[in-house]
Amino acid sequence: MTNSADLVLDGLARRYGSTTAVARMDLTVAAGELVALLGPSGCGKTTTLRMVAGFIEPSEGRILLRGKDITTMPAHQRDTGMVFQSYALFPHLSVAENIAFGLKRRGVPKPEIAQRVARMVALLQLQGLEARLPKQLSGGQQQRVAVGRALVINPAVVLLDEPFSNLDALLREGTRIELRRLQTELGLTTLFVTHDQAEAMAISDRIAVMNKGRLEQLGTPREVYERPATRFVASFIGRANIFVSRDGRSEDGIPLDGPEGTLVLRPERVTLDEAPAEGPNAVAGTVDLLSFLGTGTQAVLRLPGGRQLLVEGPASLADRFHTGGPATARWMRDDLVALPAE
């Protein structure tokens, strides 16, 4: 890979009094790459994004954009295009004027402004809405105007703060696919904030998992899912059964054949049958819950030690087992993934 680094966060930190919103964060976004900042609410995603945009001053560290140190540069001189969570469309300006705002500030000649706005309007399927005010648009349309306004200036990096959180589920999925298509076609370097792991998995090149202001893991969606670096990452990205294995047994006495230490077992790796549990990597329990999800069935197995084991299997699970009945869970040695020692 000879991809140049477009955006570099170098030990970036922000404190508010005694609380640390973001703790010494190192992150590199390559040209044309989409990196998701993923984490629960309050973990410092927005603070990170706003430091890049220049609205919040870092307490420590540096920000490099295309090799230039922009840490102390005023927001309006940075070449970033931000899409706000609440869109922040100018309520007194029409759709076309909103999109043209950044071009005007840059002194782009009028005919070119008209041309670029028209192209953006077409790209985002906003034709016919140019003269409307933001309040006369649906949520999805407002969201597209916000995206268009940020993209039309060709920023060095696009910053998106939970851009889909105000859309309903159906629209959200379509919109994120559209955005990903646009981002790849235009080769936009993008930093994308979300608390929704499915969303991050679906559209990112890499995911930066944050927790309590700290970057816990940075990797491709598959890496963070298949080889989580911490217990937090394992349970935040997808669902996980976590064992602490010592001398071939978990902390609650389940015989395990696998590595020692903290182990992650994904629910879809567990199979259920009626045979008795014998040997390691098998445990009998009682079915607590069976929920049919359409694509499959999710089961919760209560084990003698009190643990609730998560299982995901084919839809037929719902026919073979019933709530309150017995079942035996099994998995393979390779399904137990060890977390690096903490």
Residue 47 makes contact with ligand ADP by CB under 6 A: yes
Q: Mask 144-163, x = binds other proteins (CB under 8 A)?
A: -----xx--x----------
Phi, psi of 71 (to 5 degrees): -50, -40
Q: From 76-84, 137-145, 233-241, 291-299, give the range in contact with other proteins by CB under 8 A.
A: 76-84
Residue 192 makes contact with other proteins by CB under 8 A: no
Tell which one of 3, 69, 106, 326 touches other proteins (CB under 8 A).
106
Tell me how far apart the alpha carbons of residues 102 and 315 are, in angstroms, rounded to a whole number: 52
Residue 194 makes contact with ligand ADP by CB under 6 A: no
In whole angstroms, how close is the CB of 180 to ligand ADP at the nearest point? Answer: 21
Q: Which does 21 bind (CB under 5 to 8 A by kind): other proteins, ligand ADP, Mg ion, none?
A: ligand ADP
Give the list of residues 6+ apart from residue 318 with CB closer than 8 angstroms, or none: 290, 292, 297
In whole angstroms, how close is the CB of 232 to ligand ADP at the nearest point? Answer: 14
Determine contact, residues 295/285, Cβ cutoff 8 Å.
no
- In the block, tokens 């008209």 appear at 114
Residue 101 makes contact with other proteins by CB under 8 A: yes
Residue 55 makes contact with ligand ADP by CB under 6 A: no
In whole angstroms, how close is the CB of 91 to other proteins at the nearest point? Answer: 7
Give the list of residues 6+ apart from residue 320 with CB closer than 8 angstroms, or none: 272, 274
Q: Which does 88 bind (CB under 5 to 8 A by kind): other proteins, Mg ion, ligand ADP, none?
A: other proteins
Q: From 19-27, 83-91, 162-170, 265-273, give the range in contact with other proteins by CB under 8 A.
A: 83-91
Q: From 13-21, 178-186, 224-232, 289-297, give the range in contact with ligand ADP by CB under 6 A.
A: 13-21
Helix, strand counts (H, E) of the chain: 9, 18
Distances (CA, A) of 145 to 54, 155, 164, 181, 259: 22, 16, 13, 17, 51
In whole angstroms, how close is the CB of 310 to Mg ion at the nearest point? Answer: 28
Give the list of residues 6+ apart from residue 88 with CB closer than 8 angstroms, or none: 146
Q: Is 298 helix (H, G, I), strand (E, B) or coil?
A: strand
Tell me how far apart the alpha carbons of residues 339 and 234 are, in angstroms, rounded to a whole number: 9
Which residue ranges make up the site for other proteins (CB under 8 A)? 53-55, 74-76, 78, 80-82, 84, 86, 88-92, 101-102, 105-106, 133, 149-150, 153
